[in-house]
Amino acid sequence: MISEKMIQALKEICGPKFVSSHKTDRILYSYDATRKQFLPDVVVHPADARAVSRIMALAHHHRIPVYPRGAGTGFTGGALPVCGGMVMGMSRMNRILDIDQENLVAVVEPGVVTGDFQKAVEALGLFYPPDPASLKVSSLGGNVAECAGGPRCVKYGVTKDYVIGLEVVTPTGDRIETGGTTMKGVVGYDLTKLFCGSEGTLAVITKIILKLLPKPEAKKTMLVVFDAIDGAAKAVSAIIREKIIPATLEFMDRRTLDCLRQTAGLSMPEAAGAALIIEVDGDREFLDKQAQRILTVIESLGVLENRVANTFEESEEIWKIRRAISPSLKKLGLEKYNEDICVPRSKLPEMIRRIETISDQYNLPIVNFGHAGDGNIHVNIMADKADAEQMAKAEHAIEALFRETLALGGTMSGEHGVGIMKAPYLSLELSNESIHYMKMLKKALDPHNILNPGKIFPNAVCPLPGEIK
Amino acid sequence: MKNLAQYQEWFQACVKCGACRATCPVFKVENQEGGVARGKIALAQAMMDGEVFAEDRLVHDLSQCLLCGSCTNLCPNQVPTIDIVAAARMKVAQEKGLSGFGRGVATLLTHKKAMDWMSKGGDLASRLLCRQIPETSGLRLRFPVPGIPNERTFPKPSFKPFLKRDIRQTVSCSASHRVLFFTGCGINYLYPEIGEYLVRILNFMGVHVTLTDEQGCCGLPALSAGAGDAVETLAERNLKALKIHAFDAVLTACASCYGALAGIYPTLGSGYQPFAEKTRDVMDFLMDMNLAGRLASLPRSEDRIQVTYHDPCHLRNHGLTRAPRQLLAALPQVDYVEMTDAATCCGLGGTFSVHHYETSQKIGSQKAKHIAQSGAEIVATACPGCIIQLQDNLNRENIPARAAHLLELVCQALPVK
């Protein structure tokens, strides 16, 4: 519980309108896309870094857990107040402070919506590539904290590849700056990279310096249907061996196509075993040639049909298929465990085979699609919520999935992070020594374990007993 | 009406992904989780679980919804947030009683004579609506319209309601199509000329229009206010009074009425199904009769005006977005231009603009700016409610464009007989 005196102090810092311990507000900030709910005791919305720093100093002094929150769209529970305490919503800090067209650098506050930022820089002929599926609503602060990815990462890299500097508030309330606005900089440890992907457990991000690129002039999209997943996976390697890095290389497996056929009316040959959506971008004059080269090198890999978009509308038609996947999976009426494993791209066909074995072994449908270009597969294990046995089997299937992923040199999470959802499996991937070093780091920066406690590490202990909904 | 408990399954269908944050007009302005569909569904669930009760904060959050339905269109699971919010408002009304305003709406709308009286009052009612009557006046107590601030510009209610007028038709009722015009309050009391345009256009197409004073309010404003009983009363009265079996179609020229008749009524019972099935938006009906073809064959005017189109939510949610645009494009005196975010709510939202005039203004201002950017002289739409809101916002932003019903433009284009 948080004392009335503390609430008053917070109101003084944030303004009375922006502090609430009312039950409705506690409910409104109790969830994220994991659909799990934990009630915080109080919700605050600071206006600036100074307020964040004062709140953290108070929280540190009084041992109150604090959970920074962007748009609350995470899949692993990064924003969930699992130990009770204070949710710190960053939505008021939503200004784009600068877009420097000479140095191709932008400075933003953490609450800026990723999609809005992309529109703003694209209006100036610039480009910020990271494109998580939630980009229309997710915040840049959340993207940095989780190191968000997206389809374009195969060519352009992930969020951390664009973060060159940060201003953060530490768990003890200090305000520090890391990196800067230069492309190079090797003075001291690279704290910028440390905070990227730290899931809000090491610092509260209050300002972000981002690197920008010139916007590619045009793009060309194609859909290629293969008779088997092997052909599609080999096509990925063949394209890259041809020295072409497409902007996106998305794949859908047989089960995904079946599901689209059943629930979204997709017309595709019955023999289709997999499909790739390939998009190349760059100068318009080269694109047709590039598309042609791609079609030539993959020709012999079991291609059943291909469709090359010549207009924006035709390209949208292709992307519609990709976007129809999630809704069509939901129409199956099953509970969906959405994992985001990542393997070296050459291991993709082997990984898919192993997933099929798991699917047979546990007798659960598993639907795979995702970012073939970087080996990042969205594995959707489907189970009937009403069937306790199936739900238990799904848990076992997840563990089996992680074990196979790691056996192939992969990782349990390419994009979503650990949070609370993957914390129990952490020691499958990381050695005890690695985990120990991470914990030492956490302890050094956050001695009372008040910043986003209960995340990442297995069996995490709450600093305060939380009220669990 | 379905009660909140009957939406339990839908609560689970909301996976809290937050996609609704990208489109909710209220969230875009207020930037608070309580404003967006995901938050409202969490609160509705908490209400059902008995964790929160109908106190001021909850009422406030539930009132922050335009019932525009844009969230559902974007939702991966198509969760019907409008219906859930309406049911939650009804639950609040049951626990707490209707708000003064909600009571006013329900009383006024279920008493047709009162509506007629207000309209007859002409200037008097106009002054009442625009808050120029002293706080102490008994008139205000009788017809509470709080929250319509002084500065709001509002059309003067017409002296004689449309359905009391003597409308002369050039086509006899033995014609091949038998259609009934469901006018709705907006056209009957505020914009009777829209009704006259409709009759003239349909007569031009060889269709006689049956007009009857037996009809009442569609019930949508009552739904917005959480007055579920009033919705049922009004629907039942309309069903009984209008002998719809005698007609091929029930036409509406108000998107909200269309939304009620075609969307809400069928949820009240199977008896309403035929009513819903016969309900047609007039533009959609006219497109089927090839009005666009007839218009396109007219000689193009030399000096044409630029016109853009605003999608009323209640047509957009039923997929009725093409017919109005095709009609506009076919008009000989019009150059049709599309504006940015044409399908975003104007910000009126039934009782929303009464409870949240400032937020409603902010949403409307954005709309007004998009109209200005399109370069249009006229923003055409298909709902009297939208016309009120669009014109108010254009006035406030000092944008010279005018809001008009699409039927007015069609009527202008008809060759004089």
CATH code, domain with A148: 3.30.465.10
Q: Sorting pLDDT into bands at 50, 70 and 90, what band is B298?
A: very high
| pLDDT, tens only, A77-118 | 999 999 999 999 999 999 999 999 999 999 999 999 999 999
B window 364-403, beta carbon within 8 A of A:
none
Question: Are B17 and A22 a contacting pair at CB < 8 A?
Answer: no
pLDDT for the residue B135: 38
Is B76's CB within 8 Å of A71's CB? Answer: no
Dist. CA A258–CA A256, nearest whole Å: 5
Chain A's closest residue to B62, CA to CA, is A24
Q: Which pLDDT value is given to residue B218?
A: 92
- Nearest residue on chain A to B46, judged by CA atoms? A27
| Boundary residue ending a domain (B287, B318, B344) | B287
Within a domain: residue A419?
no
User: With an 8 Å Cβ cutoff, are A92 and B39 in contact?
Assistant: no
Q: Which domain holds residue A241?
A: 218-327
Same domain, yes or no: A156 and A188: yes
With respect to residue A467, please indicate whether it lies within any of the assigned structural domains.
no
DSSP-based three-state secondary structure for B307? strand
Tell me if B150 is assigned to some domain.
no
Give chain B positions within 8 Å (CB) of A23. Answer: 46, 51-52, 57
Query: Does the pLDDT of residue B121 top 50, yes or no?
Result: no
Looking at residue B112, its pLDDT comes to: 64
pLDDT of residue B100: 62
Pairing of strands A366-371, A248-253: antiparallel
In a domain, A373, yes or no: yes
Assign residue B57 the CATH number of its domain: 1.10.1060.10
Q: Provide, as residue numbers in chain A, all residues whose Cβ is less than 8 Å from the Cβ of B76.
A: 326-327, 330
Give the pLDDT of residue A385.
86
A306 in the same domain as A286: yes
What does the pLDDT average to over A158-186? Answer: 97
Boundary residue ending a domain (B287, B316, B337): B287
B385 and B294 share one domain: yes
pLDDT of residue B351: 76
Chain A residue numbers touching B51 (CB-CB < 8 A): 23, 27
B273 and B199 in one domain? yes
Residues 6+ apart with CB under 8 A from A94: A109, A111, A112, A113, A139, B31
Q: What is the pTM of this model?
A: 0.89
B79 part of contact set with chain A, CB < 8 Å:
no
Residues A255 and A363 in one domain: no
Which one of B266, B287, B308 terminates a domain?
Answer: B287
- Please report the pLDDT score of residue B155 as a whole number: 64
Residues of chain A in contact with residue B341, where contact means CB-CB under 8 angstroms, are none
Q: In the listed set A178, A199, A214, which residue is the last one of a domain according to the structure? A: A214
- pLDDT of A413 > 60? The answer is yes
Assess whether pLDDT exceeds 50 at residue B169. yes
- Let me know whether B372 and B389 are in one domain: yes
Contact yes or no for A72 and B57 at CB 8 A:
no
Q: Which of B16, B51, B76 sits opposite A35 (nearest CB)?
A: B16
Whether residue B80 is found in the same domain as residue B195: no
Provide the β-strand partners of residue B405: B381
> Is the Cβ of B241 closer than 8 Å to some Cβ of chain A?
no
pLDDT surpassing 70 at residue B151: no
- With an 8 Å Cβ cutoff, the interface of chain A facing chain B consists of 22-25, 27-35, 37, 71-73, 89, 91-92, 94, 115, 134, 136-138, 326-327, 330
Do A210 and A105 lie in a common domain?
A: yes
Residue A295 covered by a domain: yes
Q: Which domain holds residue B185?
A: 162-287
Average pLDDT of chain B, as a whole number: 86
* Cβ within 8 Å, pair A137-B46: no
CA–CA min distance A142, chain B (Å) = 14
Domain of A345, CATH number, reads: 3.30.70.2740
Report residue B180: phi and psi, to 5°.
-110, 140
| One domain, residues B306 and B399 | yes
Q: Chain B residue closest to A137 (CA)?
A: B22
Is the CB of residue A23 less than 8 Å from the CB of residue B51? yes
Residue in B closest to A29 by C-alpha: B33
B8 and B64 share a domain? yes
Average pLDDT for residues A305-317, to the nearest whole number?
Answer: 92
Q: Answer yes or no: do A27 and B58 touch at CB < 8 A.
A: no
Distance from CA of B53 to the nearest CA of A (A): 9
Average pLDDT estimate for A387-407: 95
The tokens describing A395, both together, are: 């848990």
Q: Is residue B129 part of a domain?
A: yes
Question: Is A28 close to B52, i.e. CB distance below 8 A?
Answer: no
Average pLDDT on B207-216 reads 91
Looking at the structure of chain A, the number of domains it has is 3
Q: Where are the alpha helices (DSSP H) in B75-227?
A: 81-96, 100-110, 112-120, 123-129, 138-142, 184-185, 192-204, 220-225
- Polymer length of chain B: 417
pLDDT reported for residue A195: 98
CA distance A293 to chain B (A): 36
Is B92 within the bounds of a domain? yes
**Chain centroid to CA A372: how far?**
16
Q: Does B43 touch chain A (CB under 8 A)?
A: yes
C-alpha torsion sign, points B179, B184, B186, B190: positive
- Cβ separation of A28 and B22 shorter than 8 Å? no
Tell whether the model's pLDDT for residue B130 goes beyond 80: no
Same domain, yes or no, for A393 and A305? Answer: no
What CATH code is carried by the domain that includes residue B221?
Answer: 3.40.50
Q: Per the structure, how many domains does chain B have?
A: 4
User: Is A73 within a domain?
Assistant: no
Nearest-by-Cβ selection for A31 from B13, B42, B52? B42
- Does residue B106 sit in the same domain as residue B169? no
Q: Are B52 and A24 a contacting pair at CB < 8 A?
A: yes
CA dist list (Å): B152 to B162, B207, B361, B393: 24, 38, 10, 9
CA distance A239 to chain B (A): 33
Rounded to 5 degrees, φ, ψ at A118 are -60, -40
Check whether B145 has a pLDDT greater than 50.
no
Interface-testing mutation among B33, B72, B75, B78, with chain A (most A C-beta atoms within 10 A): B33
Residues with Cβ within 8 Å of B90's Cβ and at least 6 positions away in sequence, in order, are B1, B3, B4, B226, B227, B228
Tell whether B312 and B258 lie within a shared domain.
Answer: no
Helix runs in A93-160, H state only = 114-122, 140-146, 153-156
One domain for residues B366 and B342: yes
Q: Is residue B151 part of a domain?
A: no
pLDDT digits (tens, 9 = 90+) for B353-408: 878 889 999 999 999 999 999 999 999 999 999 999 999 999 999 999 999 999 99
Measured between CA atoms, the residue of chain A closest to residue B24 is A137
Mean local confidence (pLDDT), A228-248: 92
For chain A, say whether B17 makes contact (Cβ under 8 Å): yes
Does residue B148 fall inside a structural domain?
no
Evaluate if residue A294 carries a pLDDT over 70. Answer: yes
Q: Is the pLDDT of residue B1 over 90?
A: no
- Looking at residue A275, which CATH number applies to its domain? 3.30.70.2190
CATH of the domain at B401: 3.40.50.1860
Residue A61 lies in a domain: no
In this structure, are B137 and B203 located in the same domain?
Answer: no
B386 in a domain, yes or no?
yes
Q: Angle B384-396/B357-374 helices, nearest 10 degrees?
A: 80
Minimum distance, in Å, between the CA of residue B317 and any CA atom of chain A: 19
Inside any domain, residue B147: no
Q: Are residues A241 and A146 in the same domain?
A: no
In a domain, B178, yes or no: yes
Closest-CA residue of chain B to A44: B32
Considering A214, A232, A265, which residue would you say is the last residue of a domain? A214
Does B33 contact A94 at a Cβ distance shorter than 8 Å? Answer: no
φ, ψ of residue A370 in degrees (nearest 5): 145, -155
Are residue A307 and residue A395 in the same domain, yes or no?
Answer: no
Are B399 and B298 in a shared domain? yes
Is it the case that residue B196 has pLDDT exceeding 90?
yes
B197 and B245, same domain (yes or no): yes
